[in-house]
Structure formats: C-alpha cells, structure tokens
Structure 1
Amino acid sequence: MRSQIETLLRQADQLPNGHAKADLTREAVNLADVARDLELQFRSRLEHVEATIFSGQVSESIVNYVWLLNHREEYGDSSDRSLLWSYKWILDSAIEVADFSKAQVEHFITDARTRYEAYLGPNMRPIESIEITYRIQCGEFDKARELMAKVESSSRGRLSDCLACERSRRAIDWFQLGEPEKAAAIHDDFLERRLSCSEEPTRTNSRAALYYTVAGRPEDAAVAHRAGAAKAQRTDSLILKCARFGIAYKLLADRPADAIPIFDRSL
C-alpha cells in the first residue's frame, strides 16, 4: 500500500492545481488512513491541504489541516515549518470565503499568532500581512493601516511570502484602503522588477486593471486586464480569482456588456 500511496502523491505533484490533483491526494489520504501509517498520513494530508485550498475546497482543506495540528506532537517537530506555511493558506481562505464566522476567523488569527511566535519569535509579519486584508473586510481601516505600518517597517523572514505575493497583496490592500495611486505605483514597480511566482503576475495584473482605472490610467488598465485574463484562462485555480476583478473592471470602465462573457467563462 505504501508504494500505491507514493505513486498517487507523485502523480498529483505532476498536475496543476485543480480538482484532478485534489482527487489524487484525497485517495492518498484515505489509503494512508487505512494503513495507519502516521508518516504517510501526515505527508498525504499536507499535500491534500494544498491541493484542496488551490482548487477552492476550503472546508475540506481546513478539516485536514486541523487533523495535522492535532497530530503534530505525535509526528514530531520536523513538521513545524510545513504546517506553519500552510497556515497562511488556511487564513487567507477562511477570510475570503463566507463559510466562517467572524469569531472563527479571529480564532484562526489568534492561534496562528501563538504558533508563529513560538517558532519565529516576535516578528509577526507573515500573519499580520494577511490580517490587514481581514481588517479591511471588517471595516476596521485604522487597524488595517496600523498593521500596514508594522509590516512595512519589519524585515522579511523564513516564513514570509515570496516578494511577488507580498507586493501583490500590498497593492490590493492599498486600493481597498482608498489609495489607488499607491496601488498603481506598487504594480508599476512589480512589473519593472519582473516579479513572478506560480500565481503572479496573473493575479496582480487582473487586480491592477482596477487600480489603473480609478487612478485615471485607462490605457494601462486595458493592458493589465488583457494580460491577467489571458493567463488566468489557462489555470483552473485562477479563473474564479481573476474573473471577479475582470468583471469589476468592465463595470468601472462603463462596459457592462463586456462583463457578461467573463462571468460565463468563470462558471
């Protein structure tokens, strides 16, 4: 059974994020549970958490992540970095979807802070970077700006997101705080430095169409929208993430009829 599980995990690793990948990691988890092999249960669940997060199956991902936390001491400290890295995905997703109450999200944030502090010390940059988005969504703009100042004055560390993801996040945060010029300037710098990762610059290009439109740069907005839309259609996990910004851009640009095909493609 071990070889079968290893094969499933290797096959999943070759696939892009999406439901097909999650199906393979789910099967690996089920077989590992049948085998009662703790090492394989842990490995397969770490892979399954990532696969389900990036295929939009957030509730399933969190169930498996809680299992990992509950078995962390039994498995050993060697898992800490992987667990804490995955916690950022969990937080992001819990904030983004409507399945979780404010109390539940606050619990996740508090728990993540405790675990990160035990591992990293007082530098909470990875968690506070995500918490900014949450505070904005709650309308706590002063708190969001306070956290923004802390994050921007702190140093990057072992569990910080890649620079591309960090700058993409800062741009959308500033935009939602009512400063589209700052957001556009961050995106300009992003492009000039040619930052990239698995989801960037596709995701940030989709968002940047909004920054540029509100900042009075319609030509740049059109270029950003085309760049984001073209790449997003090639990746299942990005279609929904980028489509909502594409729809918002068309509405801001007073072209509502053009928003309908974007909506249709995202279904």
Structure 2
Amino acid sequence: MDATQLETIEDLQKVVNYLSSANDTLANKQLAFRAIKKAQFFKDLDLEFEARYQYMSQCTFLNFDEELIAQFPWFLNICDQHPDRFRYRSVLWSFKWVLDVIPEYHKVSLQQIDSLLQDFEARYRAFGAADKIIQHYYMKVYVKLGNEEKARQAHEKYKQATSNHVLLDCRACQSDNLLNIFLMTKEYQTLLDTAKPILNGQISCTEVPLLTYPKAMMAAMMLGNWELAEVYASKAQRHLNKSVTFPVEYSQLLLFYTIKEDFVSARAILEQQLPLLMARTSDYLHFHFYLAAGLFLQAMVRAENSTVKLNFNLKQLPFDIADKDGEYPTTALSQWFNEQAKHRAGLLDGRNGNGYYMGYLEEMREWTDQQLVK
C-alpha cells in the first residue's frame, strides 16, 4: 500500500484497515510504525491502539521479538486505564507471544518471569480461561528455562485438562509446541507420533508445518533414521522463509548438513542467517545458532579445510579477519563460535539456576563427533 498519502484521519483509517489483513512484510511493519506516529500526531487513541497492535503483530511474525517485548506493556496499561474500550481479548492473545520469547533473555530474571506468568494466569482466569491454555504456556516457558521437572508437571496438567477456550491456540500450534518438550526429554519417537497429524497434512496453520519439519528432522536424526531426516530437511528448506531469521530452525538444518558433510548447504545457511541474527539480542537464539555453526566449522577442520569462503558484509569481530577473497581461517572462526555458544549457555544457566544449556552443548558436541567418525 502506498503510504505517501498518509496525511489525514481518513488516510490513517485506510492504512489501519489494510494492515489488519495484510501479509507480514518489512514494508508493512514500517507502514504500521508510520501509522502509530500519525495517530499520535492526531491524538487519536483508538487509531493508535489499532496501529500499535498491527505493528506488534508484524514484529511477532517477522521475529522482531525485542520490539514485540517493548510494545506489549503499553497495551496492558491502556486496557487497564480504559476498561471495555479496546480489544482486550486481542491483547490477551498477544500476551502469549510475549511469553514465547521473554525467557530467551538472561537479563530477564526468574522473578520477573514468574511475575509475568502470574499476571498471565490471573488475567486469563478472569477472562474465563482455565488450565488447558494456562498450563500449555507454563510448559513452554519452563522448557526454555531448562527446567525439565516443571515442564513435565505442566505438561501432565495440560494433558489432564479438558476445557476449551477462545484464547486457546489452534490444534496445529498446540501439537507443534508439544514437540519441544519431547526434544527436551529425548522422547524422539513420541515426538514423531505426536507430529503425525501435522506431517501427514491433516492439520496446519500459518506457521505449521513450517516450524514442525526441523523438529521432526531432529527426532529422526537422533533415532538414526537418516532417510526420514532427509525428507524433513528438504521440506524445511523449501518452506522456511529465507529472508526472515529462524535461528533455531536453521541451526537444526545446519547440524543436519554438517553430519551429512554437505558443507555447501551448511555454508549457505551460515551466510544467510548469521547477518540476520547479529541484529538480535536473544541469548537463546544466539546459543543455538552459534553451537551449530561451531560444529559445522569443526567438521570442516576435521575434513582438512583450513579456510572457508563466506560472503558476509559484517565488520565486527571476528568477521574482519577474512582475506580479500572472503576466505576465513576455519579454526579461528570455529573457536569463536564455540566460545560464544559456551558464553550464552553460561548466561542462560546462570539465570535459570541449572546446567541445562551447558549440558545440551556438551551432548551435541559429543553426538556430532560420534556421527562424523562413523
């Protein structure tokens, strides 16, 4: 949509109406931001709400998590100040988006996360939601906190709950989210069984099966079914949006291509995703991608590749060590990624009060070494 004529209240209303059903693109994200500023200029709080909500939605599905987190408190405050004026149900729905990402930042304390969960539960119960949806999100948060015991407890409560609610995620998203706990608990066959309705095309939504294929690929790899892993890797590559950062999903693909010693495909993922990742601050995302990148480069060292050519436009350390042809010393780059993965694991474990991420790091390094010597 042409935003050059965003001059009047009528223009602003048209833009907001357009954004309410528009695709998630960088251009529409920028348009929504302009609409916020214009609504503030007109001092129209209702249109500001709508513009902000569309902006937050664009941020969410384009994976600009930091901007999502920054926007969300405004909505809770404005709805509390003006009961029944705004779309409170939509705000409650977006609360789930925040819970999805807030545990990824080590600077957000356990106390803050617990407080957010309590606020989430209180608001949802006041709105009529019951255990099914609440325990679902407790489970998701505890998985990212590396707390297997609490994640399992929430999962059991989720399974026992039978209530339904308008704020409950769709069936496809619920099934896909369950796969994360099975990766955590190493129940790989259970993961594939749970994912069957998604993988067979029986259920789907905007993000599913797009986000499901890499998890299914990981489970198949861990079970030693490389033929099946290849199927899901191909589907993941075909469906993931390469212009959007998907650090966890692409880190899983990076690991697959590393084990297969398909260094061309692995290098393409590193070139494409790393510049996008560098604009992010999530410790969780950096940890997963750095770990996979370090394992890939170690595999190249093992295969006696002393240098690797990467087409980066990155100036910060250590990406200023390439020669004029874009060749990097593989050992030095591998060491940097490994150190950074260990650093991020330490930050998360330090906040979480456990050793989950450091343990995962060591397990994946050992497993990758075992696969590469077969």
Answer yes or no: is 1:255 the counterpart of 2:261.
Answer: yes
RMSD of equivalent CA atoms: 2.2
Q: Does 1:220 align with 2:206?
A: no
What does residue 155 of structure 2 align with?
A: 148
Segment drifting more, 81-90 vs 29-38: 29-38
The offset of 1:8, in angstroms, is 2.5
Within 5 Å, give how 1:237-256 maps onto structure 2: 237=244, 239-240=246-247, 242-251=249-258, 253-255=259-261
Q: Hey, what does 2:80 align to over in structure 1?
A: 73
Amino acid at match of 2:68: S
Unaligned runs of 5+ in 2: 1-7, 276-374
One of 170, 173, 186 as aligned partner of 1:178: 186
Q: Deviations over 1:121-174 (max 9, x none)?
A: 5x1322321221322233321111111011112123211111111101111221
Output the CA distance in 2 between the equivalents of 1:196 and 1:99: 35
CA distance in 2, matches of 1:240, 1:6: 36
1:201 to 209, 229, 253: 209
Larger radius of gyration: 2
Rounded to whole Å, the distance in 1 between the matches of 2:246 and 2:146 is 27
Provide the residue aligned with 1:130 in structure 2. 137
**CA distance in 1 between partners of 2:184 and 2:255 (Å):** 13
Shift in alpha-carbon separation, 1:97–1:220, aligned structure 2, 3 A: farther
**Out of 225, 233, 240, which is 2:241 matched to?**
233
Q: Which letter does structure 1 place at the counterpart of 2:213?
A: N
The 1:233–1:72 alpha-carbon spacing in structure 2 relative to 1, beyond 3 Å, is closer
2:14 is the alignment partner of 1:27:
no
Residue 90 of structure 1: aligned partner: 98
- Mark the CA change 1:18 to 1:177 in structure 2 (over 3 Å): closer, same or farther: farther
Closer, same or farther: CA 154–249 of 1 in aligned 2, 3 Å: farther
Q: 1:75 to 1:177 in 2, by over 3 A?
A: same
Could you state the TM-score of these two structures normalised by the residue count of structure 2?
0.65
Q: What is the TM-score of this pair, normalised by structure 1?
A: 0.89
Structure 1: gaps spanning 5 or more residues: none
Q: Aligned partners of 2:143 and 2:81: how far apart in 1? A: 38
Q: How far apart, in 2, do the equivalents of 1:237 and 1:105 lie? A: 27
1:211 aligned partner? 219
Partner of 1:169: 177
Q: CA deviation at 1:62?
A: 2.4
Q: Which moved more, 1:20-29 or 1:6-15?
A: 6-15
Residue 81 of structure 2 corresponds to residue 104 of structure 1: no
Contact 2:62 2:244 in 1 (8 A): yes
Q: Distance in 1 between matches of 2:134 and 2:105?
A: 18
Deviation at 1:13, TM superposition (A): 4.4
What SS does the aligned partner of 2:127 have? Answer: helix
Aligned with 1:16: secondary structure?
Answer: coil
CA distance in 2, matches of 1:49, 1:160: 20
CA contact (8 A) 2:172 2:208 kept: yes
Q: What is the CA distance between 1:193 and its match in structure 2?
A: 5.1
Q: Of 173, 188, 199, which residue of structure 2 is paired with 1:191?
A: 199
